[in-house]
Amino acid sequence: MITGETLTRIMKERGGGPDHMGCAQCIIHCSNVYLDKQGKYVTSSLEYETIWSFGAMLGINDMDTIARLDFLCDDIGLDTMNTGVAVAVALDAGYRKFGDTQAVLQMVEEIGQGTEMGKILGNGPVAVGKHFNHHRVPAVKGQS
């Protein structure tokens, strides 16, 4: 399940959590560190937009998969929200099925590898919509 409570519970169990400030002088401490089941670093900071774009929007309810997708985007240098929307457009066009975590991981990895599909996905949701001749693209002026 992907909820704030689930994220907090997982981070507490594994030793991660909001242990450092995101913005100077802010008391909220929303910046967090997400660890895997072995206690090894996966990503930081796992943000609300990332959890939405790689979670509920794609039919993925596994926080570890969402954290891995966040790491991949950070490593490649991609915006998680735009990337999640690009993947969602491809899924909506029938390229793969919603909820298929392995397919989504592969799609994001392909962006970093520069495969043909990776280049299409990496160019954003509008490019994905054009490639699949799919008109349901949630973007304004090319941005999601």
> For residue 144, is it within any domain?
no
CATH number at residue 126: 1.10.569.10
Q: Do the domain assignments include residue 137?
A: no
Within a domain: 122: yes
For residues 40-48, average pLDDT: 90
Res. 30: pLDDT tops 80:
no
Angle between helices 101-113 and 63-76 (to 10 degrees): 10
Tally the domains of the chain.
1
Asked if residue 85 is part of any domain, the answer here is yes
The percentage of residues in the chain with a pLDDT greater than 70, rounded to a whole number, is 96
Query: Residue 141: inside a domain, yes or no?
Result: no
List residues bridging with 41 in a β-sheet: 35
Half-sphere exposure of 7 (CA within 13 A, CB side): 24
3-state secondary structure of 13: helix
On whether residue 143 sits in a domain, the answer given is no
pLDDT at res. 81: 95
Q: Residue 38 pLDDT more than 80?
A: yes
* pLDDT number for residue 20: 66
What is the number of other CB atoms lying within 10 angstroms of the CB of residue 11? 19
- For residue 52, the enclosing domain spans 4-131
In-domain check, residue 104: yes
pTM score of the predicted model: 0.91
142 domain-assigned: no
